[in-house]
Structures are given as C-alpha cells and as structure tokens.
Amino acid sequence: MKKIAYLFIILTLTLLGCKEKTKETGNLTVVTTTTMLTDLVENIGGEHITVNGLMGAGVDPHLYKASEGDVSKLYNADIIFYGGLHLEGKLVEIFEKMRDRKTTVGLGDLLPKKELIGSEYFASNYDPHVWFNIQFFKQFSDTVTQTLSEKDPEHAAAYQKNNEAYQIKLDSLEVIIKEKIATLPKEKRILVTAHDAFNYFGKAYDFEVVGLQGLSTATEAGVQDVQKISEFIIENKVKAIFVESSVPRRTIEALQQSVLSKDHEVEIGGSLYSDALGNKGTPEGTYIGMFTYNVNTIVNALK
C-alpha cells in the first residue's frame, strides 16, 4: 500500500506540475497491462496507435507492482486498458484514482456479471481470468474498437476494419480448438494446474479444472491442499498435471512428489500460458498462438 501511495503522489505531482508532452507521431498513446491485452490492442489499433505494455512474458499480474517508469507511461497515455475484476490487484488503486483524468477501461469489469464465475475466496468475488473464454475476448475486442474510435474518430473506419478481421481469426481459433478437444475422451478432460486460471476454459470446453492455488497466485497452497489434490489425481487416474509459465514450478513438482509417494505416477504434461503470453515474436507471444499451444499441450498430454 505504501508503494502504491508513493507512486500516486509522483503521478499527481506530474499531472499538476507538468505540461502535456507533444507527441512525435501524432498517434494515440495507449497503455495496457497484461500481454494478452497488449496483443489485442495492437491488432485493433494497428499503425494508428502507439502501445506501451507494462507487463512482459511470464509476468504475474496478480503480484505486479508499478515502477516509476510505469507511472510515466500512465501519465503520457491517452487511454489505459486493464483486465479488471481485480486481476491487477496492486494497481487497482492507481487506476481508480486516475479515472477523472484519463480514459481508463477495465475490460473485465464491463462483462455481464451473470456470465462470470464467482468465488467466495477472491476479493472481487469474480474469477478474473476471463480471456480463456474466447467469446469474452471478442467482447474485449469490440470495446477496444469502440474506445479507440471515440478517442480518434478520424481512424474509426480503420479500427472497425481491423476488429472485423480479428473477430474472424478468433472464430477460426474456436473452431480449431474445439476440433482438437473433441479428440480427447470426456472422462480424460481433467485439468490440474498450479492455480485456478482455467475455470472459464473448463466451463467453455467441458473440462473439470483443479487448481493447486486459488484464483490469485498470492494465495499459497498448503500441505493439506497438496494431499487432497494428490488423492484426487489417484482416484481419477489423471495422467498428467501442468505447470504455468507465470507460476513457480515448485508447486506442481510438490504435487507430483506427493502422488509418487503414494506409489502412483503422474507426469508433468508441460507448461501452460495462463496469466501471460509467451515471448514477443513467437507464436505463443500472441493470444491466438497461446491458446492453440495450450490446447495442443493439454490434449496431447492427457490422451
């Protein structure tokens, strides 16, 4: 809390004491938080915007703390897109205090609450990992398009055209992953991961999802959690469990050792991208590539 308060003081002084800088390109300057949102906004904005993503590959948004450099980016932004639903827990206070000065859009906060997955254990009462429902991500795309168009009506037609093209790609993605998932028998659709990031995925594609940690990686898994899930794995003959790129491997490795200690075997089926995309410039560095990779990894390991 002290860190957030300190950064907000810096931001306030900057807003009160500095003149707005002249943009060299004339483009809208957009700040995004997670890599998923950075990829989305770049697809919609194209050449007409400059995007500054705060988080990189493998970065955990639940635990992310803003730096002084981030505050400078936020100050110079025309629009700020963030996940919402308390995904970026340590940044929420900053976003809330900036609403009167900046166009800030919490994309997850705009989704219909009746369609969200609730949780009595998470501060927002809703699971924030909504990007694993492609239909929600399509709504994100529409909201980004609308926001950019309102802020920059001169290029509204270009934003709309980009959105239409991206929506077609998202529809194609859904067809491809459904075909892949259909090759996995329903009784084998049990997904055990490091934390509860895949509940929307499970709901959309008929997987039972079990996370060792809670919805936020700030929640630590205890010995009882490990024992309970290891028994579940043995009882349901789960073939593989999965680490996550933004969560330390030790949590899943401890679970694997617990299963092995009971004279049963379970493989680590691979590393999934949950709260962040892969490295920029790789297929997994895009939302579509990440989703495709995850599904292929899950299905191939559980067969």
Q: Are residues 56 and 143 in the same domain?
A: yes
Q: For the residues 1-5, what does the mean pLDDT come to?
A: 53
pLDDT band at residue 101 using 50, 70 and 90 as cut-offs: confident
pLDDT at 215 over 50: no
From 3-7, 22-26, 286-290, the region with the lowest mean pLDDT: 3-7
Q: What is the pTM of this model?
A: 0.89
Q: Round to whole Å and give the CA distance between 56 and 171.
A: 26
- The label of the residue with tokens 């996550």 reads 244
pLDDT at 1 over 70: no
pLDDT at 219 over 80: no
Q: Are residues 128 and 100 in the same domain?
A: yes
Residue 13 has a pLDDT of 42
Q: What's the Cα-to-Cα distance from 61 to each of 87, 134, 152, 238, 274, rounded to whole Å?
A: 6, 20, 29, 29, 10
Structural domain of 72? 2-175
Q: Are residues 136 and 186 in the same domain?
A: no
Q: Round to whole Å and give the CA distance between 224 and 208.
A: 20
Q: Round to whole Å and give the CA distance between 12 and 5.
A: 10
Residue 12 has a pLDDT of 54
Q: Round to whole Å and give the CA distance between 242 and 269.
A: 5
Domain boundary among 175, 190, 206: 175
Domain CATH number, residue 229: 3.40.50.1980
Give tens-digit pLDDT for 70-84.
989 998 999 999 999
Domain boundary among 142, 160, 175: 175
Give tens-digit pLDDT for 269-280.
999 999 999 999
Q: For the residues 254-273, what does the mean pLDDT come to?
A: 95
Q: Are residues 127 and 186 in the same domain?
A: no
* CB-based burial, 98-120: b 16+ in 10 Å, e otherwise: beeebbbbbbbbebeeeebbebe
Q: Are residues 277 and 141 in the same domain?
A: no
From 95-99, 162-166, 245-249, the region with the lowest mean pLDDT: 245-249
